[in-house]
Amino acid sequence: MSDTVNLTIDGRQIKASKGTTVLEVAAAYGIPIPFFCYHPKLKPVGACRMCLVEVEGMPKLQTSCTIEAREGMAVYTNNEKVVKARKAVLEFLLINHPLDCPICDKGGECPLQNTTYTYGPDISRYIEEKWHFEKPVELGPRILLDRERCIMCMRCVRFCDEIAGHNELTFYNTGRGIEIGAVEGKTFSSNFSGNTIEICPVGALTSKSYRFKARPWDLKSTPSICTHCPLGCNVFMDSRRDELLRIVSRENSGVDDGWLCDTGRFGFENLNGENRLKVPLVKEEGIFKESTFDDALKHIAGKLFETAEKYGPDSVAAIGSHQCTNEDNYIFGKFFTEVVKSSNVDFGHCSEVLDNLLPLSEKIRWGKVKSLNKSGLILIFGADVSKLVPVLDLRIKKCVENGTLLAIFNDSSVELSGYALKTITYQKNSESIFIRDLKKVLSLKEPPIADKSDSFDVQAAFKFFKEASLAKNVTMLIGEEFLRDAGIVSLVELITSKLEKGGFIEFLPVLKGGNTAGALAMKNYFGRTNNTIDIFEGIREGKIKALYLMGFNPLKEGLASKFEADSLQKLDFLAVQDIFLTETAKLAGVVLPAQAYTERDGSYINLERRIQWLRASEKPFGSSLTDWEIIAKLSEKANKPFNFTSVQEIFKDMSEKIPEFSEQTHEKIGLKGTFLK
Amino acid sequence: MLEKILFKRIDIPGIDNINQYIENGGYKALKKALLEMKPDEVIEEVGKSGLRGRGGAGYPTYLKWSHIPKDAPVKYVVCNSKEGEPGTFKDRELMDKDPHQLIEGMIITSYAVGAHHAIINVRKRFAFAIKQLNRALREAYEKGFLGENIMGTGYHLDMVVHRGPNYYICGEETALLESLEGKRCMPRVKPPFSTVAGLYKKPTVVNNTETLANIPHIIENGGGWFAAIGTPKSTGTKIFSVSGDVNIQKNFELPMGTPLRHLIYKCAGGIRNERKLKAVIPGGSSVPVLSASSIDAHLDFESMIEAGSMLGSGGVIVMDETRCIVREITGYTKFYFEESCGKCTPCREGTHWLYQILKRIEEGSGRDDDIPLILDICENMEGKTLCALADGAAAPIVSSINLFKDEYLRHIKEKRCPFRGAA
């Protein structure tokens, strides 16, 4: 049987691959068919009836979104019958639609508006009273529903059911009175709720925060990336008069598949809050006084070099961040290792994992997000993907829907557990014991005998890996705790030896932070010893007297247990550059205002080692400077000026010095990113 | 006159009890089917009978069954006992009075298509029918007609009653399956058809109560016997639920092809108060209206189409000369507007729009261009939706305008309903 079929659309000879719908075939050939309920990522429902076409031999018009292209089919998308039906559907859609386009958020980028302009009737024959609903309805914390504008395409409900798997939206009532609503007893609080605003073909679903703020044609769209998690979803940052007003998705099928989580979509709204740093602050007698960069940096340089002179350069420590750009971290590392000449330099919170990550990446391939789609088996060790990398959770759910097997090894039940073929739970904080015992189980020939002292269900694990050995193409997602344990390398090797040969076996590290992979690359370049943990040990012991933090907040929730606040009190001098007056910054002698990710440019590396470019979309807050600019200015104060005037220059220098970055150019990265070597 | 088939035993006291049912020849067909016939022979026999679906569409029953893939591991048989069509009340009587007849038919059907799960989907409102069916199912299990190893044949079947929502749309085949799956009643995209991907995406036979109740009789007496009743293309008998302005409003079982006149004037005792007949809706409210001049049309699938209507579910609604056709049709349109599931645009918006216009005309605010507008809206709805609800809403409107246009025009011209006295 051939995989392609031949058909005609409006008399044009067309080849299509089997299984594609007429609507998709037509779209591929540039033959326009209007639609509302159809969405390429949702299952077709044939509800709006906008995409009706005539198929020769079929008495009724057919919805082109639901019928598959067949051999010999003759389709008409524009004959008299179809044109009349289209006009009719638009007339039906508009009779009760409020037509409040002049004040509607969607106006200007509204499929209903656009389709009406192209295909619709120019007058309405409707003289009755329009159907009225009270409005708006609050569906959840972020989304408002205008039921009068809704055209019942069901995309939002289908998104919740089919993509997010949260089942938070449903229908109420029948006939003309039908309406969308949150499922009884629930609110629409899914972390993906914002996507429904984007897929809504009318202005029915609006964002509480963006509502009535701007018109689309006044917005400037900057293609950028989200930096909230290690996935780096591609976004458009839409700003008006240099003020960022909303973030929308910019589909990159290899990264985000066109979706965003609410943290990424709405997270920027907190950036201009009360706590945001506007000007440099210098502490005098325990109280912060507003200062200038010039004075503050002079003060810092003085303190740093004074300390280095008095106690040796290693008494000065510096920690960059997994949230900063590569350029920030690079110039930061350069300054502290080459100018201050300290060996106590790190970038972020988890450089220890390098000791296992590098050997691991020699054993099996550092994977690609897109490979998940082709994986027959996905193993997740430790990381709660739904919380750490939300949009990746959507991809995994889709994979499971398409038949991929999923197994989760975690200390508790996580959201994806419901999708897993097998979930094996171990005790809290016992990853090392789990790795050790799992290795034992995997080396057995016969099923183990269960024992009370087992830290997890050994029999289930044995059985699972026996069955899983048939799976082809495997991706392992490995969390931070697992990557910290040296046993992970041999465990992965052991698992690999059990698996069917022929397919690919890959891993992806799941580490907190928007640019953790980049931070690790910097650490690898500037020297693997003296990690953040060692630095804090040095502070406790009194060996380190001065600390400079760039975008790193050790007291932040989740990290605080590792890096105690007490140690920071022991320092003679602490300088912090950040965007907020964080708990850590409050302890500092000097605080410098840095720019947020919406205000600056630079490169980020995501968990699959894809390097992507961040682009500024709004003006800097207060007198804040980019992290690298602050360091460049600091180098001037140290009389060892770096002659970088732009982020591109730093990038060029970086790609010449760091092997992993070699041959990378700004052009190569483009809008979709490119992979590191 | 020919003896009855479905109503043969309906008036025997205690026929709803399994012993009484067996004593009167019940479950004989089941024994014959399971012990003497192969599943394919059952389908063949039903094919010979020419039995067509009694739910409204008249699709050949055996053909539906033969679409079920033989090798599918899981299959379902679902009885559609929603009976929501206005003017139809036949299935309810069959379930209330003779539940075993339906259960026997369903066991034979399940055996024929190789299903091991059967579900009777009854609307919640039919509380008595649900009680009767549940009791009858218990009896059938006790007698070994259901459960494991039925009558020593090794065939097993489980059957349950499902109390479904009362909504009209839940009687639509795919919406019914959605509701069985615990989802909101909304029709699905077809294809795939239920026989290929029905309940839980498994091959499913969905038949109407009356259709399934015929099966034991066909097996017992042979397909040829059944085919000899009625007309060549519409075989067997049909239950007609007669309502409206007649003297006797009840179900009548008659051979297919019986003249409408016989049903209304002989069986139902003629028009109430010696009035004249004005119009008949012969197949439940979703089919086109017939005027009194069609009184000699015959009640079978083909003749009804010839007369300009459809046999539908056999719900015969009779209207006498005092009825205002605009008012009647407005009432039906209100029903469709309220019962539209809201999924397809033309149906959701169209039924509501039509209702508003018709109501306006009946209340004396009609406009000159309302009639062409109504007809155009109907045309824009018909055949443009997933299920037949929109067609069902449009059919009585279009046909009544064709037959009683003067009456509509009088409403518009006189700005009042001429049947309601001076405004």
pLDDT in tens, B109-137: 999 999 999 999 999 999 999 999 999 99
For residue A411, pLDDT beyond 70:
yes
Q: CB distance from B346 to chain A under 8 Å?
A: yes
Choose the mutation target among A22, A49, A154 for the interface with B, i.e. most B CBs under 10 Å.
A49
The shortest C-alpha distance from A144 to chain B (Å) reads: 21
The shortest C-alpha distance from A60 to chain B (Å) reads: 6
Residues of A in contact with B344 (CB under 8 A): 46-49
Please, are residues A480 and A353 in contact by the beta-carbon 8 Å criterion?
A: yes
3-class state of residue B400 by DSSP: helix
Q: Which residue of A has its CA nearest to B340?
A: A175
Q: Between chains, do A174 and B357 touch, taking CB under 8 Å as contact?
A: no
> Token pair for residue A338?
């080459």
Q: Does residue A136 have a cis peptide bond before it, meaning omega lies within 30 degrees of 0?
A: yes
Residues of A in contact with B340 (CB under 8 A): 174-176
pLDDT in tens, A363-389: 999 999 999 999 999 999 999 999 999
**Three-state SS annotation for B353-366:** HHHHHHHHHHCCCC
For residue B3, pLDDT beyond 90:
no
Q: Mean pLDDT in chain B?
A: 96
3-class state of residue A542 by DSSP: coil
3-class state of residue A165 by DSSP: coil
- What mean pLDDT do residues A544-548 have? 97
Q: Between chains, do B384 and A49 touch, taking CB under 8 Å as contact?
A: yes
Q: CB distance from B351 to chain A under 8 Å?
A: yes
pLDDT grade, residue A272 (50/70/90)? confident
Q: Between chains, do A92 and B380 touch, taking CB under 8 Å as contact?
A: yes
Report in angstroms the alpha-carbon separations of A658 from A326, A334, A651, B220.
11, 12, 10, 88
3-class state of residue B19 by DSSP: helix
For residue B222, pLDDT beyond 50:
yes
> Token pair for residue A259?
């979706």
pLDDT grade, residue B233 (50/70/90)? very high
CB-CB neighbours of A43 under 10 Å: 12
Residues of B in contact with A96 (CB under 8 A): 349, 352
Residues of A in contact with B383 (CB under 8 A): 59-61
Of the partner residues B167, B350, B357, the one whose CB lies closest to the CB of residue A174: B167
Residues within 8 A of A (CB atoms), B 22-61 only: none
- What mean pLDDT do residues A512-533 have? 94
Q: CB distance from B165 to chain A under 8 Å?
A: no
Residues of A in contact with B348 (CB under 8 A): 92, 152, 175-176, 178
The enclosing H or E element of B412 equals helix B389-414
For residue B423, pLDDT beyond 50:
no
The shortest C-alpha distance from B337 to chain A (Å) reads: 6
Which residues are CB-neighbours of A86 under 8 A, at least 6 positions away? Answer: A34, A50, A52, A119
> Whole-model pTM?
0.94
pLDDT in tens, B325-348: 999 999 999 999 999 999 999 999
Cα dihedral B246, B252, B255, B259 in deg (nearest 10): 0
- What mean pLDDT do residues B204-228 have? 97
Cα dihedral A450, A454, A459, A462 in deg (nearest 10): -140
Give the pLDDT of residue A506. Answer: 96
Q: CB distance from B383 to chain A under 8 Å?
A: yes
> Token pair for residue A240?
């008006």
> Token pair for residue B361?
């005309």
Maximum Cα–Cα distance across chain A = 92
The shortest C-alpha distance from A89 to chain B (Å) reads: 6
Give the pLDDT of residue A55. Answer: 97
Residues of B in contact with A59 (CB under 8 A): 383
Q: Are strands B315-320 and B277-281 parallel, antiparallel or unpaired?
A: antiparallel
Q: Between chains, do B341 and A85 touch, taking CB under 8 Å as contact?
A: no
Q: Mean pLDDT in chain A?
A: 95
| Residue ranges of chain A whose CB lies within 8 Å of a chain B CB | 44-50, 52, 59-61, 63, 66, 84-85, 88-89, 91-93, 95-96, 125-126, 128-129, 131, 151-152, 154, 170-171, 173-178
Give the C-alpha separation, B207 to B80, whole Å. Answer: 6
ipTM for the predicted complex? 0.95
pLDDT in tens, B41-78: 999 999 999 999 999 889 999 999 999 999 999 999 99
Q: Which residue of A has its CA nearest to B188?
A: A45
The shortest C-alpha distance from A451 to chain B (Å) reads: 40
Place of tokens 């050997």: A359
| Percent of residues, chain A, with pLDDT higher than 90 | 90
The shortest C-alpha distance from B342 to chain A (Å) reads: 4
Q: Between chains, do A60 and B360 touch, taking CB under 8 Å as contact?
A: no
Give the C-alpha separation, B391 to B378, whole Å. Answer: 8
Q: Which residue of A has its CA nearest to B352?
A: A176
- Number of residue pairs across A and B with CB atoms under 8 Å? 96
Q: Between chains, do B343 and A63 touch, taking CB under 8 Å as contact?
A: no
Q: Which residue of A has its CA nearest to B344?
A: A47
Q: Which residue of B has its CA nearest to A180?
A: B342
Give the pLDDT of residue B421. Answer: 65
Q: Are strands A4-9 and A12-17 parallel, antiparallel or unpaired?
A: antiparallel
Q: Which residue of B has its CA nearest to A151?
A: B345
Give the pLDDT of residue B283. Answer: 95
Q: Quick one: residue A639, left, alpha or beta (phi over 0 = left, psi -120 to 50 = alpha)?
A: left
Q: Between chains, do A175 and B346 touch, taking CB under 8 Å as contact?
A: no
Q: Between chains, do B353 and A59 touch, taking CB under 8 Å as contact?
A: no
Q: Between chains, do B349 and A45 touch, taking CB under 8 Å as contact?
A: no
The shortest C-alpha distance from B335 to chain A (Å) reads: 10
- What mean pLDDT do residues B287-307 have? 97
Q: CB distance from B17 to chain A under 8 Å?
A: no
Q: Which residue of B has its CA nearest to A88?
A: B380
A145 forms beta bridges with A137, A205
> Token pair for residue A621?
């807050």
Helix axes B345-362, A80-95, angle to 10 degrees: 70
The shortest C-alpha distance from A92 to chain B (Å) reads: 6
Give the pLDDT of residue A566. Answer: 76
pLDDT grade, residue A560 (50/70/90)? low
Give the C-alpha separation, B381 to B389, whole Å. Answer: 10
Residues of A in contact with B385 (CB under 8 A): 49
Q: Quick one: residue A30, left, alpha or beta (phi over 0 = left, psi -120 to 50 = alpha)?
A: left
For residue B418, pLDDT beyond 90:
yes
- What mean pLDDT do residues A162-178 have? 95
Q: Between chains, do B344 and A95 touch, taking CB under 8 Å as contact?
A: no
Q: Between chains, do A175 and B348 touch, taking CB under 8 Å as contact?
A: yes
Q: Between chains, do A95 and B349 touch, taking CB under 8 Å as contact?
A: yes
Q: CB distance from B345 to chain A under 8 Å?
A: yes
Q: CB distance from B163 to chain A under 8 Å?
A: no
The shortest C-alpha distance from B389 to chain A (Å) reads: 11
